[in-house]
Amino acid sequence: MLCPFCRVELVKGRATVERRYKGVRVTFLNVPAEVCTSCGEELIDEYIVDKMDYILQNIELDKDYMIIDFIKFNDLLQSKDEISVTKELQVCFA
């Protein structure tokens, strides 16, 4: 895949993504992305964006700012069912 801006080949990498949800600023670390080696543009797959949305919708937002390591959370998602993940999230990220 080519960068939409400079037409250089993209490589697999990690991105840091800032989101705002219900007034809370959330930073996702280690988000899988395709990264341009020339301009640094980061493209994130829709599937990954959907996972970030799931995280935001299922954590207790009791702070003004939160940092979430996407890789650690994704491992948690794959190892448990949705109900236990939701309960564990309230402990991990609150």
Interval 9-48: pLDDT, tens: 999 999 999 999 999 999 999 999 999 999 999 999 999 9
Whether 3 maps to a domain, the answer reads no
For the residues 50-59, what does the mean pLDDT come to? Answer: 88
End-to-end CA distance of the chain: 38
Question: Among candidates 79, 22, 90, which has minimal Cα distance to 53?
Answer: 22
Query: Any idea what the CATH number is for the domain that residue 73 is in?
Result: 3.10.20
Assigned domain for 5 exists: no
In a domain, 43, yes or no: yes
Residue 25, SS3?
strand
Distance CA 85, CA 59 (A): 10
pLDDT tens digits along 57-68: 888 777 889 888
Q: Residue 38: which domain range? A: 10-92
Structural domain includes residue 74: yes
In a domain, 1, yes or no: no
